[in-house]
Structure 1
Amino acid sequence: MKGLYGQLREGSGELKFLIQEKSVPVSPESHQVKVQVKACALSPVDTGFLDDLKLRRDLLPVGREIAGIVLQVGPKVTFFQPDDEVVGILPLDAELSGLCDMVLMDEHLLVQKPEKVTYVEAAGGIQDGLRAYTALHTLGRVAAGHSVLVMDGASPFGMMTIQVAHYHGVKVLATALSLEDQRLLEKLRPSMGVQESLLARIISTWDPKVDLVEACLEETGGLGVDMVIDAGVRLYEEDSVGQSLLPHKHDVISLLGVGGHWVTTERNLQLDPPDSRSLFLRGASVSFLNEEVWGASRARQGRYLHILRDMVEKLAAGTLRPQLDEPVPWYEAAVSMDMVQTKQARKKVVIQF
């Protein structure tokens, strides 16, 4: 069966994406279900993370967030039956690409897709929703009345995080990396009518006149925010290529309030003694956002499925709306994946079958 896979280019370390034929088992095993894929969202392939887990292969499957219809179930499957509409995320060690007509998945990695949610919406929102829930609830433990700063609020993950936080009564601040991003975020703050604003403040980090720390302290009465979710940070004062709009780690610590929590996506974060002392004086803490850990322990499987179910229910109710690009046909998958891998796509790209 044809699917999309990534292969390392010789000498460059970059991935090239190509269509390859792979065989699929005829029938599912005990707890497996065979799913006909209707939509598959694209996310960058993290080769370094796969190396750390010893999961690197010559051909890396592409596309893990899928939505589709159950065609066949294994003899011990209890959650699903044929013709059920489902959505889920393929595991990191999956051998087949999600961009195949059919995939085999364990039933404990899938949840029912509500009728009101399209296949494209389900596939396009599931991973960013999982990241948002993990950052806000599992790591940050936010509660109504807290304040949170979402870095790069106009990204698909940022937009989903803003919506989840607002739903739970959190005061949300967000940064905009460009004028276009700011205009997108301003749509979440209606100037008239009774619709409640999702954002308390938009901080234009693209404008050199705007100081991130001052803006956050001003909005919180000098107390600092209860939680920060970054989109990467600068570890050194000198701006490296592509990091000029990222906040410095010292700025992130400076805008935290007492007992605050910093959720970071920076896997190589290095805290110097003055940084640690500043966190100590605030009684603040740091967590690393890695939503892949849900698959590392079976003891957390029930909580993982609860998050997915809650998220798709909110998609059905219209509480959450993923930031999606126009659906892409299958024959353009390789080109689209190359744009996603090189971070040229600002919206979530979904392949529709």
Structure 2
Amino acid sequence: MRTPATGGHTGAEADEHPQAPEPEPAQTTPTDPSVNAHRKEDAMKAWSWDRYGPPDVLTLKDVAEPDIAPDQVLVRVRAASVNPYDWRHAGADPMLARLSIGLRRPKPGLILGADLAGVVERVGEEVTGLQPGDEVFGEVSLGSFAEAVAVPQDRLAVKPARLTFEQAASVSMAAHTALQGLRDDGRISAGQRVLVNGASGGIGTFAVQLAKTFGAEVTGVCSTRNVELVRSLGADDVVDYTREDFTARQGRYDLLMDIVGDRSLAKLRRPLTSRGTLVLVGGISARGGLLGPAAQMLRGALVSPFVRQRITGVRWNPNSADLQFLAGLMEKEQLTPVIDRTYPFAEIPEALHYIKRGHARGKVAITL
């Protein structure tokens, strides 16, 4: 059975990751010839899928432990976390995802999962700065829902000592998106008025805290039951969307990060100043179709040259430098992951169903 994490949060806002990148070479399955190169005792458990559909299409299989490239690290996974990115891959939602993971069905050998935290077991000959026994966190494009995973060194950082493995595994995808959306795409600066739509979800809880560390005045948008949570993260003002339409606040904000994706561009531009910036992350509301959440970003790119306000999508780029930056903030207690629930490894499909319903507040962690 699932167990509540510290704080036991539940809630209604959901996050979305902007785009599905090309998956890295996946762990092998028993049908791959390379399995014969592994001893039987090197087998591990992993969640794979051989057809597209809801999280129930996932199956727990015995597969061979992955080999590592010269620039990779083999991490014994201690915890993972789930993202909308994961259930979208399971269902090939949007259809564009099929270009990288398989047109009619998933390519053989793919393992689901991105975020992870664990212990270094082996390192490639080109790896520097990490060694067996180090506790690390980071992400892969696919493969973290397994007992071990091969991770490029440039997608890992040493785990902050004050964090549990579950907390550390909840950082990479959501915090990378929040950080790069605010700093790189939004060009945030001290003294700006920033609004985060979807402030109580995985990306949103990081975005509120990060915007405060950059010296901004932050307004969070969430439902009634999440108001106190968002305040506790440092928000200067909280809009309860069940009582007020934040898009009616004309000309108030220098930067708006839209995580939910349930409003038109015209409405999202309203609360911005004449030279304000709109950062589009995606949204749980964009399901199915060819482009999914990317459709809103495409519309924004087409509109932006013709208006005074800047409209940009998040250009997600997971990297160790940003993970180290985030780790430094967490060590100084300026940034803390919010965990809604923790599920055991055996219940990953149930965890994906939960996050797909859109009621997760903060992150949903997996423990091994």
Q: Output the amino acid matched with 2:309.
A: A
Indicate the residue corresponding to 1:205 in structure 2: 241
**Matched-pair contact (CA < 8 Å) for 2:198–2:260:** no
TM-score (norm 1): 0.77
CA distance in 2, matches of 1:258, 1:168: 22
Indicate the residue corresponding to 2:155 in structure 1: 109
Among candidates 284, 295, 298, match of residue 268 of structure 1 = 295
Among candidates 250, 254, 278, match of residue 226 of structure 1 = 254
The alpha-carbon deviation at position 143 of structure 1 amounts to: 0.4
The alpha-carbon deviation at position 7 of structure 1 amounts to: 4.5
**Matched-pair contact (CA < 8 Å) for 2:111–2:146:** no
**Matched-pair contact (CA < 8 Å) for 2:337–2:362:** no
User: Does residue 266 of structure 2 align to residue 250 of structure 1?
Assistant: yes
Q: Output the amino acid matched with 1:3.
A: A
User: Does residue 325 of structure 2 align to residue 310 of structure 1?
Assistant: yes
Identity of aligned residues (%): 23
CA distance in 2, matches of 1:98, 1:42: 10
User: Does residue 138 of structure 2 align to residue 88 of structure 1?
Assistant: yes
Deviations 1:66-89 (A, max 9, x none): 111111112222221111111110
- Structure whose CA Rg is larger: 1
User: Does residue 39 of structure 2 align to residue 14 of structure 1?
Assistant: no
Alignment map for 1:116-135 (pairs within 5 Å): 116-135=162-181
The alpha-carbon deviation at position 163 of structure 1 amounts to: 0.2
Cα distance change, pair 231–76 in 1 and its aligned pair in 2 (3 A):
closer
User: Does residue 144 of structure 2 align to residue 65 of structure 1?
Assistant: no
Among candidates 37, 48, 68, match of residue 28 of structure 1 = 68
Cα distance change, pair 7–205 in 1 and its aligned pair in 2 (3 A):
farther
Alignment map for 1:135-284 (pairs within 5 Å): 135-176=181-222, 178-188=223-233, 198-207=234-243, 210-214=244-248, 216-217=249-250, 223-233=251-261, 246-264=262-280, 265=282, 266-269=293-296, 271=299, 276=303, 280=306, 283-284=308-309
The alpha-carbon deviation at position 250 of structure 1 amounts to: 1.7
**Matched-pair contact (CA < 8 Å) for 2:231–2:237:** no
CA distance in 1, matches of 2:310, 2:364: 34
The alpha-carbon deviation at position 180 of structure 1 amounts to: 0.8
CA distance in 2, matches of 1:6, 1:180: 36
User: Does residue 349 of structure 2 align to residue 349 of structure 1?
Assistant: no
Deviations 1:124-155 (A, max 9, x none): 12221101111101101110011111002111
| Stretch moving more, 51-60 or 128-137 | 51-60
Cα distance change, pair 29–211 in 1 and its aligned pair in 2 (3 A):
closer
The secondary structure found in structure 2 opposite 1:54 is: helix
Deviations 1:98-143 (A, max 9, x none): 1222111222221111222221111112221101111101101110
Runs of 4+ in 1 over 4 A off after TM superposition: none
Cα distance change, pair 280–145 in 1 and its aligned pair in 2 (3 A):
farther
Cα distance change, pair 43–186 in 1 and its aligned pair in 2 (3 A):
same
Deviations 1:230-256 (A, max 9, x none): 1244xxxxxxxxxxxx33332211211
**Matched-pair contact (CA < 8 Å) for 1:30–1:75:** yes
**Matched-pair contact (CA < 8 Å) for 2:190–2:215:** yes
**Matched-pair contact (CA < 8 Å) for 1:34–1:72:** yes
Q: Output the amino acid matched with 1:28.
A: I
User: Structure with the greater relative contact order (CA < 8 A, sep ≥ 6): 1 or 2?
Assistant: 2
Equivalent residues, number? 301
The alpha-carbon deviation at position 4 of structure 1 amounts to: 1.3
Cα distance change, pair 256–84 in 1 and its aligned pair in 2 (3 A):
same
Cα distance change, pair 22–164 in 1 and its aligned pair in 2 (3 A):
same
**Matched-pair contact (CA < 8 Å) for 1:62–1:99:** yes
The secondary structure found in structure 2 opposite 1:185 is: helix
Indicate the residue corresponding to 1:287 in structure 2: 312
**Matched-pair contact (CA < 8 Å) for 1:8–1:14:** no
**Matched-pair contact (CA < 8 Å) for 1:224–1:258:** no
The alpha-carbon deviation at position 289 of structure 1 amounts to: 2.0
TM-score (norm 2): 0.75
CA distance in 2, matches of 1:337, 1:138: 30
Indicate the residue corresponding to 1:41 in structure 2: 81
**Matched-pair contact (CA < 8 Å) for 1:42–1:62:** no
The secondary structure found in structure 2 opposite 1:34 is: strand
User: Once superposed, what is the RMSD of the aligned Cα atoms?
Assistant: 2.5
Q: Output the amino acid matched with 1:31.
A: D
